[in-house]
């Protein structure tokens, strides 16, 4: 007779691994994330508050000196503008993409995915090539006789907005496409059969049903814009600092680690806060 106090073998739990085995398999991941993620972030945050004794001076400095507040506000403003632009440019692309079939849809998808797959650095460099004084935009405008002097395009706030919109546009298009694709085509046809014009059908039926994808895309684009480093660093220059490039400047040029830690901590808290607040939109994109 079986010993009633014997432990149940793990196989009875529908193939579940035993706890010791699970822990062993997960251990490398825990060690990696502990050493390479938790430890550095903790050290950065602690260093911003203990320099060397507990002090709030570095955190307070962010709001006390107007230049930093201005940079923060400008970062948020830029992120908002980029998000709106990404929506205005990206929604039509997603709409057309969702209504195409076969080859054409693949082609449009390639146009959206190819930029996504190339390095942000390469794409930002391309914007330098386009926007610099002797760059393509200026050369083309001059050769068409539209301007005499090259325009100051690069190292402006506009350049940062345009380049960031370009880089982040696919992150808006893809979720919107997913949600549009999920709308049954019969709904639109039903609306049309009941007499609605194409615009009314779109406005009253398609657009509201696609909103989850729009929110997912907007959340991703906004959060990514806030923390972006590469593109503002290359295209914005030192006159147009964002919080990310400010952090970089504080560490590499000014070696002011506690203050950089405070700035990074603020950025981290804002990012995590936004992700937590909007997580129900973000989980949309995960639905395979």
Near another protein in 51-110, by CB under 8 A = 89-90, 92-93, 95-96, 98-106, 108-109
The reply on whether position 159 binds another protein by CB under 8 A is no
Task: Report the length, in residues, of the chain.
Answer: 288
Place of tokens 């930093």: 68
Interface pattern 11-50 for another protein (x via CB under 8 A): x-xxxxxxx-xxx-xx-xxx-xx-xxxxxxx-xx--x---
Q: Would you count residue 144 as binding another protein (CB under 8 A)?
A: no
* Separation of alpha carbons 89 and 91, rounded Å: 6
Could you tell me where the beta strands, DSSP code E, fall in 77-201? Answer: none
Task: Please identify, using beta-carbon distances, which residue of 27 and 69 lies nearer to another protein.
Answer: 27
CA distances from 112 to 49, 139, 229, 288 (A): 43, 27, 22, 19
Least distance (Å) between residue 80 CB and another protein: 17
Cβ–Cβ contacts within 10 Å for residue 72, how many? 20
Nearer to another protein, 1 or 140 (CB): 140
Selected from 49, 76, 128, 209, the binder of another protein by CB under 8 A is: 128
Helix 157-181 crosses helix 207-227 at what angle (to 10 degrees)?
A: 140
Binding to another protein in span 179-208, by CB under 8 A: 181-182, 185, 188-189, 192, 198-199, 201
Q: C-alpha angle with apex 274: 272 to 276, nearest 5 degrees?
A: 65
Is 271 near another protein (CB under 8 A)? yes
Over the window 246 to 265, marking each residue x when it contacts another protein by CB under 8 A and - when it does not, the resulting string is -xx--xx----x--xx--x-
Burial class, 32, CB count within 10 angstroms (exposed 0-12 / middle 13-18 / buried 19+): exposed
**117 sits near another protein (criterion: CB under 8 A):** yes
Shortest separation between residue 151's beta carbon and another protein, angstroms: 15
């Amino acid at each position: 007779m079986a010993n009633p106090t014997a432990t149940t073998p793990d196989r009875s739990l529908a193939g579940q691994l035993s706890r010791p085995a699970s822990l062993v398999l997960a251990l490398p991941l825990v060690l990696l994330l502990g050493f390479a993620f938790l430890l550095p972030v903790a050290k950065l945050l602690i260093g911003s508050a203990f320099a060397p004794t507990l002090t709030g001076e570095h955190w307070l400095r962010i709001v006390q000196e107007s230049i930093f507040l201005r940079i923060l506000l400008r970062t948020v403003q830029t992120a908002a503008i980029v998000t709106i632009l990404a929506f205005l440019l990206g929604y039509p692309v997603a709409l057309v993409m969702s209504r195409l079939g076969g080859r054409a849809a693949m082609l449009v998808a390639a146009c959206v995915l190819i930029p996504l797959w190339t390095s942000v650095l390469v794409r930002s460099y391309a914007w330098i090539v386009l926007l610099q004084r002797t760059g393509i935009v200026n050369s083309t405008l001059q050769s068409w006789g539209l301007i005499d002097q090259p325009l100051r395009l690069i190292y402006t706030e506009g350049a940062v907005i345009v380049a960031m919109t370009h880089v982040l546009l696919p992150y808006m298009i893809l979720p919107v496409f997913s949600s549009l694709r999920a709308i049954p085509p019969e709904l639109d046809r039903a609306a049309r059969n009941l007499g609605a014009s194409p615009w009314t059908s779109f406005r009253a039926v398609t657009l509201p049903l696609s909103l989850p994808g729009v929110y997912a895309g907007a959340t991703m684009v906004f959060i990514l814009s806030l923390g972006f480093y590469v593109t503002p660093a290359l295209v914005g220059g030192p006159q147009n600092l964002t919080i990310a490039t400010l952090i970089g400047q504080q560490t590499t040029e000014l070696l002011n680690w506690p203050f950089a830690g405070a700035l990074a901590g603020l950025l981290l808290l804002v990012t995590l806060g936004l992700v937590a607040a909007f997580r129900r939109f973000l989980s949309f994109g995960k639905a395979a």
